[in-house]
Chains A and B, each alone.
Chain A
Amino acid sequence: MSEFINFYLFPALTIGSIYALGAVGISMIFGILRFAHFAHGDLMTLGTYGILAAAALMPVNPLLLVPFGMALTVFAALFVDRYFYRPLRDLPTIYTVISSFGIALVFRSLIQLVWGSENQVLVAGVRPPLILFDTFRVSVLHLQAIVTTAVIAVLLHFFLTATKTGRSMRAVADDPELAEVSGLDTAKVVRWTWIIGAALAAVAGAFAALNTSAHPNLGWNLLLPMFAAAILGGIGKPMGAMAGGFIIGMAEELSSYHWIGDEALISPSYKTAVAFVIMISLLIFRPQGLFKGRLL
């Protein structure tokens, strides 16, 4: 039992938090701007490298440097929205999707150009795990990731329900035409969507890099599970995306636990396929997600 919790449950929750933080942005962009943002994974990577660059100058705990990564991703997101996505907004959304593919490539090649394509670590060395109640061994990082995500979830919930901007965001996600004729400032809503999505992408990127290492494909490799999480939670439902992220993360990690007999249920090398299979079956059988999101 303690083996299950130590080696499967906590890592699964950590992966889940990373997916959850990324999926919030994808779900909000999909809900409000109506397109699947394929550059979101690389936006995460950009955040990671922003933190890495700051860490080279300031040798403190990288988690304190997350604001630098956020600044970079928010700037990048607002920039590409202004110059690359907005000119295509009146066309069928598929053109914006194609454009975001290109932007993903632009982000990745910029990262490789500036920082090279080697693996880099944010924190060198191994930190001893915390031991709780003499049986549970939890790595500090896992605990940080899970707690941070929980705090962000609470803050996000208050933002979306209690502030005017948050409420208008939900209104636009539910019915853009109605929101527009009711006099909501859609440009502001779009701006805040990018700011929140990009900032959370930077946090996700930080934890993803701390969990393994920073490399230019870091975010791209996480993109499809994050899409799966966003669809599972229902498009345009940020809290649903959070839940979806945890479910996908758990499903991925726990699929290689030896549930039956001594063998892993699914070979760990096919771990990532679990998220894809969930995503594809969701798209076919329940595209509105668990929490009744929009169906575009």
Chain B
Amino acid sequence: MELTGLFFYVVSLLIMGGIYALLCLALNVQWGMGGLFNAGIAGFYGVGAYTSAILSTAASGRHLGGFSMPVPIGLVGAALVAGITGWAVARICVRLKSDYLAMASIGIAEILRLVFVNESWLTNGSLGVSRIPRPLSDFTTGRMSDVVFLGFVWVIVLLVYVATSRLYDSPWGRSLRAIRDNEASALAAGKNVEKYRIQTFVIGCAVMGVAGGLSAHYFRFLSPTATDPLLTTFLVWVMLMAGGSGNNRGAILGALTIWTLWSVTEIFTNRLPPEWATRSSFIRMLLVGLLLQFVLQRFRSGLLPEKSPPVRFRKD
């Protein structure tokens, strides 16, 4: 009994770890490769989550919906809508320099959150969307569906990992890194900096949308608290920084490490005396904030530092 409990704990840990790995890979495309400071991850994550939830739920009088689409279509929709939102944001904001882009993207995430809370015809407001289906739910019941979902999540992580690694190694990725490291010389070499940045931003946002969609299907319920900037935006930044920005494997490793730390410390802090246990989440947040400072000062390249692929010349 003890062992099965542990097994399902690890399953739930890995599901959320996989969703965070997707967010980290997406941020790695934007920040690690493109050098774009997106501080509005929660907004795009929310857009994806609501899109997928609305597309796949059965009819309900409380919010827009009734499409009852299969989950994969919901996720494709999430990627599309989040990507289009990202495109609109990128069109206007991508020329901004780092600090300003951070402010603008937080502002956009806040506006999106206000929309989720206030437009109840669309999202049922703060009461949220419930009865969101899981993929392949016809074949499994009860706790086994968690295991199936775990596989589903990690297949997507693998696909995104392969895709982003190919991107990193491609001429496109090289141009992107050139822009990140020296914008002026990339411009002089004839690269269309703005176009590359918009593409980077859109790809990242689309993957963030998929991650949001997956979380909605995992919890089967979605409310605006899911777009809390703390747990999505901030934690993802810490994960990528600790894992190694610019390295896709580092992004996944960082997501798993930090998420494991975050969840396992919960077990310990829950054993504290009751007057402290209620405050345990604040202790964890404090530690994550300090961990980020440590990473920034002593450990900037992360667990797996960025390694530029070797330049291969064709033999004559």
Contacts and interface: CB of A to CB of B under 8 A. Distances in A.
Given A94-B37, A98-B296, A99-B296, A273 B92 contact: no
The main secondary structure of chain A at its interface with chain B is helix
Interface in B84-140: 92-93, 95-100, 102-104, 106-108, 110-111, 114, 117-118
Interface stretch (B3-11, B160-168, B202-210, B280-288): B280-288
Contact of A99 (B110, B230, B292): B292
A113 B114 contact: no
Contact of B99 (A109, A277, A296): A296
A97 interface: yes
A19 to B, nearest CB: 15
Given A102-B289, A224-B110, A269 B118 contact: yes
A101 B105 CA distance: 14
A interface bracket (residues with beta carbon within 8 Å of B): 35 or more
B45 interface: no
Given A105-B230, A106-B286, A276 B102 contact: no
Given A105-B230, A273-B110, A280 B92 contact: yes
B237 interface: yes
Contacts of A101: 39, 234, 237, 292
A276 B100 contact: no
Nearest to A102: B292
B239 to A, nearest CB: 13
Given A112-B282, A280-B107, A97 B100 contact: no
A103 B300 CA distance: 17
Given A102-B296, A273-B110, A283-B100, 7 more contacts: A98-B241, A105-B286, A109-B286, A224-B107, A272-B110, A276-B108, A279-B103
Interface of A: 30, 35-36, 38, 84, 87-88, 91-95, 97-99, 101-106, 108-110, 112-113, 116-117, 224, 227, 231, 267, 269-270, 272-273, 276-277, 279-280, 283-284, 287, 296
Interface of B: 37, 39, 92-93, 95-100, 102-104, 106-108, 110-111, 114, 117-118, 230, 234, 237-238, 241, 279, 282-283, 285-286, 288-290, 292-293, 296-297, 300
